[in-house]
Amino acid sequence: MTRPIRTTIDLSALRGNFAVARQRAPGASLWAVVKANAYGHGLMRVAEALDDMADGFALLDLDDAVTLREAGFRHPILLLEGFFEADELPLFAEFALTPVVHTLEQTEMLTSAALPAQLPVYLKLNTGMNRLGLSAEELHPVLSALETTRCVGNITLMTHYADADLERGIDWQMAHFEEATQGCDHPVSLANSAALLRYPKTCRGWARPGIMLYGSSPFPQFESAEQIGLRPVMTLSSELISIQHLQPGDRVGYGGIFTAERPMRIGIVACGYADGYPRRAPSGTPILVEGRRARTVGRVSMDMIMVDLEGIPAAGIGSPVVLWGDGLPVDEVATAAGTVSYELLCALAQRVPVIEKA
């Protein structure tokens, strides 16, 4: 018998979420961000589903970009960390890829390159996140150098927000961006998912929706995915494979970190951290059994999770379980585990079978 765990990828939900992004950013072209194997959903699967909707695809790995080109995709493709070595630049030219330039070293590689075709370039400005990007003092000299480089085509200015999903917001970074780019006559790319949804003024040029495409809210503390109009694309589900009866004082699982205070019936779910479920999820993490909310108990193990079956008398061996997705937002599970939905979606293990739902 096949282990009952599975992942269902709902492609109609994916397309519906993209339509929400389009509706919320009507004046912008949209990069569909498909980095990290499309946030665990499958690069080719997602690209094919959005083939006639996305204006372009944004990702990190050069190999993935080449894979899309060789599969026949002719959309613009943006490499969000650009190139790492000068000898990658001929591939960028051959496959018509757009690099993000965010360091002086990359600038030197590009201005020294002899390429057979012009590359469109995204030039990234650090406006306060202090991760990637040129300083305001570096921007204009680099921009001037790129504008006079024969192998550089159209230049787009971009930045990335540190607090678009938090109370501080983006005004402080926008002020830095506007001041640094004053007098620059280039298109821009400013909005990630959070900014696209919360700050319509950033939806000009090219926007970069990512997590929202997969049905998760970029700011669940303010607004749920359902309230935004998003639907879960990934549903991780399994079944109960055993039932145990506990008496007061009985402990559960490794380390016995959960102790029964009353007679209990618990179910054992065929899912664990080797499947991508967060090991640090504590007792009380929400879970669905027979379509009803329940709570986990004890420590998550490699292949199993325990769940309190109180109030679900119909639950037994073979009962369906949803770990996250349809009926249980991944944001809730992530919050309980002290992390974000991005991590859970990206961590889905290869051993979990995937079922596509058109």
Active site residues: 35, 254
Distance of alpha carbon 34 from alpha carbon 76, whole angstroms = 13
- Going by C-alpha positions, the residue among 180, 158, 184, 162 that lies closest to residue 171 is 162
Q: Which helix (H) or strand (E) holds 295?
A: strand 292-297
Helix and strand element counts for the chain (H, E): 12, 18
Q: Which helix (H) or strand (E) holds 252?
A: strand 251-252
- Tokens coding 191: 């909005």
Q: Where are the alpha helices (DSSP H) in the chain?
A: 11-24, 35-39, 43-49, 62-70, 89-94, 104-111, 136-147, 171-180, 193-198, 225-228, 330-336, 341-346
Backbone angles phi, psi at 186, to 5 degrees: -135, 150
Neighbours of 97 (CB within 10 A): 23
